[in-house]
Every structure is written in structure tokens, then in C-alpha cells.
Amino acid sequence: MFTAARLAVFVDGCFWHACPDHATQPASNAAWWREKLATNVARDRDTDARLTAQGWEVLRFWEHADMRAAAGLVEDAWRRRRAGLSSSGSPSTRPAPGEPAT
């Protein structure tokens, strides 16, 4: 969290946040885990929406992302927000599988 810039940055784990490329589903107690992981994803979307509604920019990255590239995107967003330039108004979420980060 960069509070002065109202910038929230999350690095989501593939298992806990259901990465479309690397998520796994436990075989034991499968129904419980399916619901648990779906709840985590729903909470992520709710968090994004709540922060965005309060004027925050949200950046999310998968744990397997290139963290140098992610850091560059965070720095760009931080500089833009500190300079007073508005963001698009929607959360900057991780790209769909196979799409490059922008």
C-alpha cells in the first residue's frame, strides 16, 4: 500500500488465488477447497471494487510474474498518481493468461 498515492499492490499466490495457469485443486476434501478458493477470488474482486470506489488504483500480479517488470509498473503508477494524474478509474488487474502486462 502506497497510501499517499492511494495505490494498492497485491502479489497473489497461484494456489490461494486460483491462477488460471498454475492453480491446483486438492483431491482431499475437494468440495471444501473449491469453495474456499472461490471465496478468496471473490474477496479479491470485492477488495478491488471497494478500493477503486474510494479512489485507489489497484495493481495485482501473480507470484510467478516477472517482478522487475511488475516493479516498473508499480513505479509508473506511483509516479503518475503522485503527479496528480488520474488513472483510468478501474482497477489495473493482472492481464488474462497469455496477454502481456501493460
Enter the DSSP assignment of 64. T
**Distance between first and last Cα of the chain:** 20
The pLDDT, as a whole number, for residue 92 is 52
| CB distance 78 to 71 below 8 Å | no
Question: Could you write out the DSSP letters of every residue in 3-46?
Answer: GGGTEEEEEE-TTTTT-TTT----STTHHHHHHHHHHHHHHHHH
What φ, ψ does residue 10 adopt, rounded to 5°? -125, 140
Tell me the per-residue pLDDT of 50-95, one tens digit each, with 9 for 90 and over: 999 999 999 999 999 999 999 999 999 999 999 885 555 444 555 4
| Local confidence band at 40 (pLDDT 50, 70, 90 cut-offs) | very high
Q: What CATH number matches the domain at 3-82, 3.40.50.10330, 1.10.240.10, 3.40.50.300, 3.40.960.10?
A: 3.40.960.10
pLDDT for residue 101 is more than 60 = no
Tell me the per-residue pLDDT of 44-62, one tens digit each, with 9 for 90 and over: 999 999 999 999 999 999 9
Q: Record the cell numbers describing residue 57, joined without a space.
A: 488504483
